[in-house]
Structure 1
Amino acid sequence: MTMNTANKWAAGIADTYALGLLAEAVGLGLPVAALPFWSTALDRHPATRRSLDVLRATGVRVVYGEGGWTPHEPGTGERRVDAYPWERVLDAVESAG
């Protein structure tokens, strides 16, 4: 999930099909997990922290930080894509269900 997606999702903005599904899943109480992917520069923005707090408060398991995924330095994301730990978000959904 990108920072833009996290902020929209946390605000309840469902302007794409994917965001609509995520918002509805939260409303239905389905197990939902998110695995962020953004830079350290975006991570320092106050809206990012607020959005993660809101998502966690609604029951979304945010796989982020120690033991999850950590932000990358600006301009290095392409080099980290192959190491993106999809299995961690799948594990988070399984443990929530």
Structure 2
Amino acid sequence: MTTLYLLGSAAPPVLEIGSVIEAAQGRGYDVCLGLTPSAARWLDPQLAELEQLTGHPVRSAYRAPGAGDVWPRADVALFAPATFNSLNSWALGLTSSFVVGFAAEAIGKSIPLVAMPCVNSAYAQHRALDRSIAELRSMGVSVLYGAGGFVPNPSGERWPYPWGLALDEVDDVRNRPLPGP
């Protein structure tokens, strides 16, 4: 079975993560769920249920030095929803959260990565977002943003998040060779 690390940050689509886990499991993935600390707080009432659903602990913090890993090795990772903060931190190598740290390290370990932002149109106007997306793409990350991926919604509005597109891309990248350095 293929192990998928599903990584999420605190944006409204993270509240749908249970159904996304089920959809990924339906595609044959063993799912391990990692969350930013804020996303974990949002999902706190559901964490035990999500652990039961995945069969793995939900992680939102780095493990202690010397502690064994509680997850199997990742075959592929999906970082969605990825907020403005998480994307910019990841592109800059600022790894203060477990999920951003894993994603940054996964690039060096050649673990196939898919990211799908969740930003509103106001954030999308900030130049750092385009730079970060370009930087991540240059490192081999498949970033679903713009046509064929996530399209920013107006500030204050919530549009359906295209989870199906993200899972389709995960299916594709796990079999695609990563670009060289």
The aligned counterpart of 1:93 is 170
2:145 counterpart of 1:64: yes
The aligned counterpart of 2:130 is 49
> Any unmatched runs of 5+ in structure 1?
none
> Any unmatched runs of 5+ in structure 2?
1-81, 175-181
1:75 pairs, out of 150, 156, 166, with 156
Cα distance per residue 1:44-89 (max 9 Å; x no partner): 111011000001001110011111110010111xx32xx2111211
Using the size of structure 1 for normalisation, the TM-score is 0.90
2:119 counterpart of 1:32: no
The aligned counterpart of 1:5 is 86
In 1: Cα distance, 2:108 partner to 2:163 partner: 24
In 1: Cα distance, 2:107 partner to 2:167 partner: 16
Which of the pair is proportionally richer in helix?
Answer: 1
Bigger RCO of structures 1 and 2 (CA < 8 A, at least 6 apart): 1
Corresponding letter in the other structure for 1:94: D
In 1: Cα distance, 2:103 partner to 2:131 partner: 18
Number of matched residues? 93
Q: Could you tell me how far 1:96 is from its partner in structure 2?
A: 1.2
Q: Could you tell me how far 1:27 is from its partner in structure 2?
A: 1.2
Corresponding letter in the other structure for 1:26: I
Runs of at least 4 residues of structure 1 off by over 3 A?
Answer: none
Q: Could you tell me how far 1:26 is from its partner in structure 2?
A: 1.1
In 2: Cα distance, 1:33 partner to 1:88 partner: 11
Corresponding letter in the other structure for 1:59: G
In 2: Cα distance, 1:50 partner to 1:63 partner: 15
Q: Could you tell me how far 1:91 is from its partner in structure 2?
A: 1.5
Which of the pair is proportionally richer in strand?
Answer: 2
